[in-house]
A and B are shown apart, each in its own frame.
Chain A
Amino acid sequence: MYDDELDRAILALPLEEPPADLRDAILASTVYRPAFPFSPLEVSLLGACAGVLVWLIALLVTTDVGPLFAQVGDAILSGAGVISHPMTLAWLALGIVVAAYLSVTMQPPIGPPRTVGR
Chain B
Amino acid sequence: MAATLSGERDAFAGLVERYDRAVYHLALRTLRDAEEARDVAQETFFKAYRSLRTFKPGAKFSTWILAIAYHACCDRLARRKRYAQDELADRADTAPGPEAQVLADDDARRLRAAIDALPEKYRTVITLYHLQGHQYEEIAAVLGVPLGTVKTHLFRAKEQLRQRLSQTEEEARS
Say yes or no: is A29 at the interface (Cβ < 8 Å to chain B).
Answer: yes
Assess the B38–A11 pair: CB atoms within 8 A. no
Say yes or no: is B112 at the interface (Cβ < 8 Å to chain A).
Answer: yes
Assess the A6–B42 pair: CB atoms within 8 A. no
Assess the B41–A22 pair: CB atoms within 8 A. yes
Q: In the complex, which residues 112-144 of chain B have their Cβ closer than 8 Å to any Cβ of chain A?
A: 112, 126, 129-131, 133
Residues of chain B at interface, number, CB under 8 A: 33
Say yes or no: is B67 at the interface (Cβ < 8 Å to chain A).
Answer: no
Known contacts A18-B24, A30-B12: A3-B111 contact under CB 8 Å? no
CA distance A24 to B55 in the complex (A): 24
Known contacts A13-B108, A16-B24, A29-B46: A23-B158 contact under CB 8 Å? no
Contacts of A18 in B (CB 8 A): 20-21, 24-25, 38, 41
CA distance A59 to B14 in the complex (A): 55
Shortest CB-to-CB span from B146 to chain A, Å, is: 22
Contacts of B131 in A (CB 8 A): 15
* Given A13-B112, A16-B29, 11 more pairs with CB closer than 8 A: A7-B158, A11-B129, A15-B22, A15-B25, A18-B20, A18-B38, A22-B20, A22-B24, A27-B13, A30-B49, A31-B9
- A-to-B contact residues, CB < 8 Å: 1, 3, 6-7, 9-11, 13-19, 22-23, 25-27, 29-32
- B-to-A contact residues, CB < 8 Å: 9, 12-13, 16-17, 20-22, 24-25, 28-29, 34, 38, 41-42, 45-46, 49, 107-108, 111-112, 126, 129-131, 133, 158, 161-162, 165-166
